[in-house]
Structure 1
């Protein structure tokens, strides 16, 4: 008899893993403490307007990974969607990421690509020491004017920290383009599931060898009843945070309904320090193939996660990894538990990376099982770089 495995968490990582294992003949139980699948990617139809609401903030699927793209298309119909972000700074609106239009508009110039490169090079800070913080990396790439306007205050609001203490890896996710390409992502594949992420994840879990329960909390005693447990929750929570809680940021949303079109774009950032929210998302713009007379927009506020809050992304201080190292060492000592996903590996993960890693975990687990070996504890070490 094949013993069942337990997957804790019905988000993208957990659902992908469960599906891959089930298709290989491995029975899987999935539990999630929330009342819905898809984790923070959860989407739902607003009962008043019919608009598909990204309940926990915008999620845009983008990738160059053809294997991941083929996998997700099995569970949803996708529509092409190229994300374009605007930002309000000092009373004016600009396009992000910084591109040639942004540079010319900001500096009141008419530069071509080479002239813009030279101008920016002359504004950059020069240093010999490694740029380990967000601020030092941004100053070396952008110089003080662009950094101050577009990123200093926005980053402070988003992370609740001086950008001097935010890891430099966070800035590496933000490109600077010397052309007029204003797409937020440059990946070949950029799309949205037509009926939302929750429908897609539910389709992943729709398999005879998958049983899942919602509103169900994981208890450590559950481990004994399974051949193996795959845990996608927060690594410190697995141990009851008994050495202290790892720092996470959480988000709070103010949802508003209105008539017509509120801001004319999907996302508007707010880079000024005196605006308390980081951005406003207008949800109907994430589904331009639909038509709605009304609208829903959401103001997004970031703060440190307190007990009971939903952890959205790890806050990795530049100077302190000791607590994380303690939990990693304890996790590696476990015999029948593996950690994966954004919270389990304490890393910021794009959706395609989470899916790719979950597929890899399934393959490696099945191979290890066939050889009678212990599966890997982590998809990638939490002590590795948090950036993609």
Structure 2
């Protein structure tokens, strides 16, 4: 019998465990320091309203990877869902991502697609050839006015620093559409699990040769020699006891509110004005439009720097962070029986479908 240790029960750990469990000769131990499985994708019913809550913030599954889409649907019924995000700026509600309706509303125009392309090209900052940072990346594409309205204040609140300090890579895609498509995502496969995300993890970890130990924090002093292989999905700096220093992350906190009826009529509304302290409000009954609820629950989301007791969410990846990470990565590469997987262990931003695809590939390499 081969014994495996998986540290973390989010999508990385759960998918790896499920794949390894197919061999009855494997014994898989999954540990998690929290009191529940599922990592930041954990969902639960609100006791008062019975609304399905995304406890650590909204998760809409979307991918262009059919293998991942087919894989996840083995463990849930995925209901089609289109995320239509709105943004409030200067007392008006706009549609995101920036599209033809946003442009026409913002500038008081009635452009057709070609006219809008010519107009945006005329206001884009052509002096920027190679964007050096987030701000220049946005200014090169959409110009000063749209950048200030929809990106500057929101980004500063989200990341806790001036956008000029952030790498251009954060804003990878052209943030504008020249049609009226207000689907927040461009991927062909989009949905939300009918019974919530926690049910997916229960199904992924259901095999008899998987043992789940909650409220169990990994310690670097553990003897790992009894395991054929270890898969680690926690923060990489924590694994090495922060010997080269702490990597910086942003985390989010939520202020919960309950009400009767419908609070905002939409799942997610961003607040782009810098003087509004929160980044967005999400109302969770709208993530399950196939359900009916008389009461509602919504959350104001605040972004802050991650402190020792906080849950890390978004790797900042500033220049000094990447220098520290390189040291951890080099040491990690010397460990033949440990794989570092997922957002925290590889210190990069990954959506759910990226994490699942990585986990499936990692198992193939280490079987």
CA offset digits 1:306-338 (Å, max 9, x no partner):
011100110111465211111111111113111
Check if 1:180 corresponds to 2:180: yes
Determine helix, strand or coil for the equivalent of 2:225.
Answer: helix
C-alpha displacement of 1:244:
1.1
Correspondence for 1:67: 67
Correspondence for 2:360: 359
CA offset digits 1:253-286 (Å, max 9, x no partner):
0011000100000000000011000000000000
Correspondence for 1:302: 303
Return the alpha-carbon distance in structure 1 between the equivalents of residues 255 and 321 of structure 2: 33
Write out aligned runs for 1:58-207 (5 A).
58-127=58-127, 129-173=129-173, 175-207=175-207
Return the alpha-carbon distance in structure 1 between the equivalents of residues 228 and 118 of structure 2: 60
Correspondence for 1:265: 266
1:32 and 1:214 in contact (8 A); partners too: yes
Determine helix, strand or coil for the equivalent of 1:175.
Answer: coil
Return the alpha-carbon distance in structure 2 between the equivalents of residues 112 and 242 of structure 1: 57
Return the alpha-carbon distance in structure 1 between the equivalents of residues 90 and 128 of structure 2: 32
Return the alpha-carbon distance in structure 1 between the equivalents of residues 338 and 64 of structure 2: 31
C-alpha displacement of 1:132:
2.8
Deviates further, 315-324 or 226-235: 315-324
RMSD: 1.2
Determine helix, strand or coil for the equivalent of 1:224.
Answer: coil
Check if 1:312 corresponds to 2:316: no
Correspondence for 2:35: 35
Question: TM-score, normalised to structure 1's length?
Answer: 0.92
Correspondence for 2:276: 275
1:232 and 1:344 in contact (8 A); partners too: yes
Determine helix, strand or coil for the equivalent of 2:86.
Answer: strand
1:87 and 1:268 in contact (8 A); partners too: yes
C-alpha displacement of 1:64:
1.6
Correspondence for 2:333: 332
C-alpha displacement of 1:127:
3.5
C-alpha displacement of 1:119:
0.3
Correspondence for 1:229: 230
C-alpha displacement of 1:225:
2.6
1:18 and 1:30 in contact (8 A); partners too: yes
Return the alpha-carbon distance in structure 1 between the equivalents of residues 84 and 254 of structure 2: 21
Return the alpha-carbon distance in structure 2 between the equivalents of residues 82 and 13 of structure 1: 25
CA offset digits 1:100-157 (Å, max 9, x no partner):
0000000000000000000000111123552131101000001000000000010000
Correspondence for 2:243: 242
Determine helix, strand or coil for the equivalent of 1:158.
Answer: helix
Correspondence for 1:284: 285
C-alpha displacement of 1:223:
1.9
Correspondence for 1:371: none
Change (3 A) 1:92 1:222: farther
- Gaps of at least 5 residues in structure 1 are 367-388
2:141 and 2:174 in contact (8 A); partners too: no
Determine helix, strand or coil for the equivalent of 2:171.
Answer: helix
Return the alpha-carbon distance in structure 1 between the equivalents of residues 353 and 321 of structure 2: 29
- Gaps of at least 5 residues in structure 2 are none
Return the alpha-carbon distance in structure 2 between the equivalents of residues 316 and 127 of structure 1: 26
Aligned length: 365
2:60 and 2:192 in contact (8 A); partners too: yes
Return the alpha-carbon distance in structure 2 between the equivalents of residues 152 and 185 of structure 1: 21
Deviates further, 241-250 or 149-158: 241-250
